[in-house]
């Protein structure tokens, strides 16, 4: 499978979905202006992700020190041993007793997921997928399904703007205001449980789109809050990843268990509940109007009937590049219709045909300019995957 081009023509989500669906093995090379990432696939699952241009602070040894899992002295000693023995740093740390194999695997998993989710913020770049056999390599991490990475990436893109409104600066600190409610279920405040919750698919599906629950991540962050500890330090100590840490802090601030203090020393003021509700309704109305306007605008420029493609639209666009260009605009139209449907019905449809029944699109819109219908999958009430037909 030859796959090469720019991210403007074929996005990160499209690429990961295609490789995952076809269960390919190989390496995906991604390059942007100042970043170079390689993602390794086996049977369509991601088994490794490396940043060739990774900064020193993001190396596994420095991550362990910042998380206070090992000390600076233990790292320096392990690096010296590594130079003499040429063993991997992780193996040296395990053999010396500085860290357990399970804890190292968790940190390696965190390093990989942070690298992958960072790709969703790329605005431009190039990609190339090369098929080749990928060895198990001792299973440094648990293989990640491409679809799971997509779902989590979409969730982050969707929720980050909301989280950043309150957790707006890495130098912010926090102050506890009141105790958390007693946890009825068995205690799960330790590192392993909090980490597993943050990266388990069950937990993500359960809390997707929620900004009000107190879970193990929130409890872990609450315990880590101390005078002078910034967002950046809490991200390092929690070992949950930047997004999960900031979202947990957002929930704690929203529910008034802690108070956010800006770098200037002023406490962040919480909005009144009524204002939040009214603002939410106004924002919803504005989004609906904007999406409807966008849908109408696109419709006037992408009316299939006016393009006279004959009975077989695909044959009129034999050039794959032309098909992709036209399909990109058509997918924008379908995406806009899906957003309008969600705002009107409260959830995305199970199938694209519901858009036709709702009068938002015509039947031909669901496959134009292809012979087959677009690939669509609803992954939650607010998130979906939409791709050209997978053939």
pLDDT single digits (tens) 215-263: 999 999 999 999 999 999 999 999 999 999 999 999 999 999 999 998 8
pLDDT reported for residue 46: 93
Summarised one tens digit per residue, pLDDT across range 41-67 is 999 999 999 988 877 777 899 999 999
pLDDT reported for residue 58: 76
Q: How many CB atoms neighbour CB 14 within 10 A?
A: 22
The 3-class SS string of the chain reads: CCEEEECCCCCHHHHHHHHHHCCCCEEEEEECCCCEEEEEEECCEEEEEEECCCCHHHCHHHHHHHCCCCCHHHHHHHHHHHHHHCCCHHHHHHHCCCCCHHHHHHHHHHHHHHHHHHHHHCCCCEEEEEECCCCCCCCCCCCEEHHHHHHHHHHHHHHHHHHHCCCCCCCCEEEECCCCCCCCCCCCCCHHHHHHHHHCHHHHHHHCCCCCCCCHHHHHHHHHCCCCCCHHHHHHHHCCCHHHHHHHHHHHHHCCCEEEECCCCCECCCCCHHHHHHHHHHHHHHHHHHHHHHHHHHHHHCCHHHHCCCCCHHHHCCCHHHHHHHHHHHHHHHHHHHHHHHHHHCCCCCCCHHHHHCCCCCHHHHCCCCCCCCEEEECCCCCEEEECCCC
For residue 69, how many C-alpha atoms fall within 13 Å in the half-sphere facing its CB?
26
pLDDT reported for residue 212: 60
pLDDT reported for residue 332: 84
- pLDDT 10s digit of each residue in the chain, 391 long? 568 899 888 888 888 988 988 898 999 999 998 889 999 999 999 999 998 887 777 789 999 999 999 999 999 999 999 999 999 999 999 999 999 999 999 999 999 999 999 998 888 899 999 999 887 665 578 899 988 898 898 889 889 999 999 999 999 999 999 999 987 655 444 555 554 554 454 444 444 444 567 899 999 999 999 999 999 999 999 999 999 999 999 999 999 999 999 887 555 544 434 344 444 444 444 555 555 555 455 444 444 444 343 344 444 445 566 677 777 778 888 988 888 888 888 889 999 999 898 888 888 888 878 788 888 888 888 888 888 776 5
pLDDT reported for residue 265: 58
């Amino acid at each position: 499978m030859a796959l090469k081009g720019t991210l403007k023509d074929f996005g990160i989500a499209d690429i990961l979905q295609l490789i995952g669906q076809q269960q390919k093995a190989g390496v995906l090379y991604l390059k942007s202006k100042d970043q170079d990432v390689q993602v390794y696939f086996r049977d369509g699952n991601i088994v490794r992700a490396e940043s060739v241009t990774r900064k020193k602070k993001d190396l596994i040894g420095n991550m362990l020190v910042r998380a206070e899992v090992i000390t600076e002295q233990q790292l320096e000693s392990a690096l010296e041993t590594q130079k003499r023995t040429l063993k991997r740093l992780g193996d040296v740390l395990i053999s010396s007793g500085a860290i357990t194999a399970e804890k190292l695997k968790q940190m390696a998993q965190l390093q990989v997921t942070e690298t992958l989710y960072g790709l969703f913020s790329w605005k431009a770049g190039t990609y190339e997928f090369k098929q080749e056999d990928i060895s198990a390599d001792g299973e440094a991490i648990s293989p990640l399904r491409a679809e799971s990475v997509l779902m989590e990436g979409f969730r982050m893109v969707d929720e980050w703007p909301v989280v950043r409104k309150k957790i707006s600066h890495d130098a912010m600190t926090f102050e506890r205001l009141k105790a958390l409610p007693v946890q009825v279920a068995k205690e799960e405040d330790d590192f392993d449980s909090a980490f597993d919750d943050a990266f388990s698919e069950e937990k993500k599906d359960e809390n997707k789109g929620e900004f009000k629950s107190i879970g193990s991540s929130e409890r872990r962050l609450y315990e880590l809050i101390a005078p002078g500890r910034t967002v950046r330090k809490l991200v390092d100590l929690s070992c949950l990843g930047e997004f999960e840490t900031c979202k947990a802090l957002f929930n704690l601030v929203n529910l008034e268990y802690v108070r956010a203090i800006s770098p200037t020393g002023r406490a962040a003021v919480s909005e009144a509940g009524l204002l939040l509700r009214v603002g939410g309704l106004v924002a919803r109305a504005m989004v609906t109007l904007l999406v409807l306007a966008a849908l109408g605008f696109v419709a006037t420029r992408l009316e299939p009937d006016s393009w006279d493609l004959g009975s077989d639209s695909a044959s009129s666009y034999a050039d794959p590049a032309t098909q992709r260009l036209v399909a990109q605009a058509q997918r924008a139209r379908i995406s806009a219709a899906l957003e309008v449907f969600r705002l009107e019905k409260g959830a995305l449809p199970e199938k694209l045909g519901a858009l036709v029944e709702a009068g938002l699109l015509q039947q031909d819109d669901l496959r134009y300019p292809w012979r087959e219908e677009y690939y669509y999958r609803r992954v939650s009430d607010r998130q979906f995957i939409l791709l050209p037909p997978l053939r």
